[in-house]
Amino acid sequence: MTLNCISRISLPNRSAAPLGAYRSLAGICLAAASLLALGCGETIDDVLEGDGDAFTSIYESEEFQTCSGCHAPGAPGRVDGIETTQNWSTRDAAHTTLKRTAAGLIGNNAGCNGVPFLGATAEQSLLVASLDEDVRAGYDNPSFPGCTPDAIADQTLKIGGPLPAALLQQLKDWVNDGAP
């Protein structure tokens, strides 16, 4: 149910309403006040359940928690030649660094230095390509001709196998929604 501003809420007739109606009304008013704080157009479900921060859900998944084992300052798996700008030590650090470009790659992976992790779509995203064999196989960034499917590291090897389909779809949806 969407409330596009509080003016659309109608109050019950006082004389006909039992006490429970006023308690329900108090809950509606609390939700409506929250909507005002968040802005018109929000839904009651958004207020009551949160906006479902997709990246937090992705970051907190078991599979993505393994990223910090290599991609964080002082991480035990951090070695020369892995991406140097990624920091998965916290949710906010990971979110911030995904807005940057790949750096510090050597050898076969060096062609992807300078490539943005997040593309305009999931299919253009280096992050998604590193986690999805199909996206990796079709990856093409004309601005970085050296970043070929063979140059993109298969991160599923590090996390113990392919991402569960639902988590991969959640990641793709997040990227396709502009990676907010």
Tens-place pLDDT, residues 151-160: 999 999 888 8
Tens-place pLDDT, residues 79-130: 776 778 888 899 999 999 999 999 989 999 999 999 999 999 999 999 999 9
CA distances from 170 to 58, 114, 165, 175 (A): 7, 25, 9, 9
Nearest to 163 by CA among 135, 138, 141: 135
Which of 19-23, 64-68, 81-85, 100-104 has the lowest average pLDDT? 19-23
Looking at the whole model, is its pTM more than 0.95? no
Signed CA dihedral, 41, 44, 50, 51: sign only: negative
Q: Which sequence spans correspond to the domains of the chain? A: 6-49, 54-176
Helix locations, the chain, DSSP H? 19-38, 44-49, 54-60, 62-65, 91-98, 126-131, 133-137, 165-176
DSSP-derived 3-state class of residue 78: coil
